[in-house]
Structure 1
Amino acid sequence: MENFKSFHGTITMINDFWTNASGEGLGCYKLISVQNEYGDLVNFVVSPSTYFVDHVTLSVGDRVTGFYDGNAPVPLIFPPQYRALVMARDTSYQNVKVDYFNSQLVSSDNTLKLNIGPYTQILLENNQLFTNNPTNRNLIVVYGPTTRSIPAQTTPYKIIVMC
C-alpha cells in the first residue's frame, strides 16, 4: 500500500531529466524543483504517468503541491528527489488530498471524510466516468470547504480514482 506524502511550495526551476546515459526518453521526463516558505528544497521527477490535477501546465513561480509515495526508495542526495505521482497547482478555491479512503470514505490518516453529493464527479485518471463504488481505493480528491470536526467532512467537487 502506498503511503502518500506531500510537499508544498513554489516552483523555482523546470528542466529536462535524463533517465539513462544514452539520453533515451529525453524530453519525456522533467525535474521540477520546489521550495517551501522555510527554504527547504525538493526535486520532483515528473514522468508521463504523473497525474496533473485539472490537467494544468505548470511553470516557474507557480505554487504547487507534489504527492509522492513515502515508502518508495529515494537516492541519498540533496536536495531530496521524489518520483511525483500527482501534482496540483494551488488555487484559493480548492484543496487536493491524495490518500487511501476506506469503506466509510475516511482517509488513512483519519483527517478527511468524504460525503459524495449529487454533483460530485467521480472519474478515472483518463477523465472517463468511474461507475463503481470509490471506497477502499487510492483517490485524488478535489474539494472546498470542510467541517471543523475530526475527521473533517466535505462534499468533494471531484474524485479521481487511481486504478
Structure 2
Amino acid sequence: MINFNSFHGTVTMISDFITGQNGEGEGCYKLMSVENGSGAIVNFVVSPTTYFVDHLMVAAGDKVTGYYDGNAPVPLIYPPQYRALVIVKDTPYQNVKVDYFDSQLESSDGQLRLNLSPYTQIVLTNGQHFSKNPTNRNLIVIYGAATKSIPAQTTPYRIIVWC
C-alpha cells in the first residue's frame, strides 16, 4: 500500500533530469525544486507517469503540493529527492486530498470522509468513467467546502481513481 506523504510550497526551479546512459529518456524526466517558505526544500523527480491534477502546466513561481510514497527508498542527500506520484497546482476554492479511502470512504489518516452524490464525477486517471465502487482504493479527491468535524466530511466534485 502506498503511504502518501506530501510537501507544499513554491516551485523555484524546473530542470531536465537525466535518468539513463546514452541520453535515454532525455527530456522526459524533470527535477522540480519546491520551497515551503520556511527554508525547507524538496526536489521532486517528475516522470511521464506523474499525474498532474487537471493536467495543469506548472512553472517556477507556482504554488504546488507534491505527493510521494513515504515508504519508497530515497537517496540520503540534501535536499531530499522524492519521486512525484501526483502534483497539484494550487487553485482557488479547490481542495485536493490524495490518500487511500476505506470501505466507509474515510481517508487512511482519518481526516476526511466522503459523501457521494449523483453529481460526483468518478473517473480514472485517463479521464474515462469509473463504473465500480470507489471504496478501498487510492483516490485523488477534488472538493470544495468541508465540515469542521473530525473527520471532516465533504461531497466531492470529482474523484480520480488511482488504479
Q: TM-score, normalised by structure 2?
A: 0.99
Q: Which residue in the other structure is 1:93 paired with?
A: 93
Q: Which residue in the other structure is 2:149 paired with?
A: 149
1:1-163 to 2 correspondences below 5 Å: 1-163=1-163
State the secondary structure of the residue aligned to 2:142.
strand
Letter in 2 for 1:44: F
Query: For each residue in 1:94-118, what CA deviation from the matched residue of structure 2 results, as whole angstroms up to 9, or x when unmatched?
Result: 0111100000000000000000112
RMSD: 0.6
Paired residues in the alignment total: 163
- % identical aligned pairs: 71
Question: Structure 1 segments of 4 or more deviating over 3 A?
Answer: none
Query: For each residue in 1:24-77, what CA deviation from the matched residue of structure 2 results, as whole angstroms up to 9, or x when unmatched?
Result: 101000000000020100000000000000011100100000000000000001
Letter in 2 for 1:92: P
State the secondary structure of the residue aligned to 1:54.
helix
Letter in 2 for 1:8: H
Letter in 1 for 2:42: V
Letter in 2 for 1:157: Y
- Structure 2 residue runs of 5 or longer lacking an equivalent are none
Distance 1:37 1:159 in 2: 30
- Structure 1 residue runs of 5 or longer lacking an equivalent are none
Distance 1:158 1:30 in 2: 28
Distance 2:116 2:105 in 1: 9
Letter in 2 for 1:9: G
Following superposition, the deviation at residue 23 of structure 1 comes to: 1.8
